[in-house]
Copies of this chain bind each other. A is one copy, B any other.
Amino acid sequence: MLETRKIISIGEAAHAIMTHQKCGTIEHVPLMACEGRFLAKDMIATCDLPHFTRSAFDGFAVRAEDTASARPEKPLTLEVVDHIGAGMVTDKIVTTNQAVRIMTGAQMPAECDAVVALELAKEFQKDGKTFVTIKRAAKIGDHISYQGEETKLGTTLVTKGTRIHAGISASLATFGYETVPVAKKPVVGILATGSELLEVSDPLVPGKIRNSNTSMIVAQIHKIGGKAIYFGKLADDFETSYQKINEAFAKVDFLITTGGVSVGDYDLMPDVYQKMNAHILFNKVAMRPGSVTTVAEKDGKLIFGLSGNPSACYVGLELFVRPSIRAMLFSSAPHLQKITAYLGSDFTKPNPFTRFIRSELGFRDGKVFANPVGIDKSNIILSLIKANSLAVLPGGTRGFQAGDQVEVLLIDDHEGSEWPW
Contacts and interface: CB of A to CB of B under 8 A. Distances in A.
Interface of A: 2, 31-32, 34-36, 47, 49-52, 54, 56, 58, 83, 85-89, 101, 103-107, 118-119, 145, 150-151, 157-158, 164-178, 194-197, 200-204, 206-220, 222-223, 228, 230, 262-266, 308-310, 314, 339-342, 363-368, 377, 379-387, 405, 412, 414
Given A86-B195, A368-B366, A368-B368, A207 B52 contact: yes
A107 B195 CA distance: 13
B173 A118 contact: no
Given A32-B215, A174-B381, 17 more contacts: A49-B382, A52-B207, A54-B207, A85-B264, A85-B266, A86-B207, A106-B207, A107-B206, A165-B223, A167-B386, A168-B219, A170-B381, A171-B384, A340-B364, A366-B367, A367-B368, A412-B414
B384 A167 contact: yes
A151 B385 CA distance: 13
B222 A36 contact: yes
A220 B381 contact: no
A223 B35 contact: yes
A47 B175 CA distance: 55
A71 to B, nearest CB: 23
A363 B368 CA distance: 8
Copies, count = 2
| Closest 4 pairs between A and B when the two form their complex, measured CB to CB | A167-B384, A87-B196, A170-B216, A86-B196
A51 B209 contact: yes
Given A230-B32, A341-B366, A85 B215 contact: no
A130 to B, nearest CB: 13
Nearest to A415: B388
Contacts of A172: 215
A105 B310 CA distance: 12
Nearest to A90: B207
A266 B211 contact: no
- Which of A165, A194, A365, A405 gathers most chain B CB within 10 Å? A165
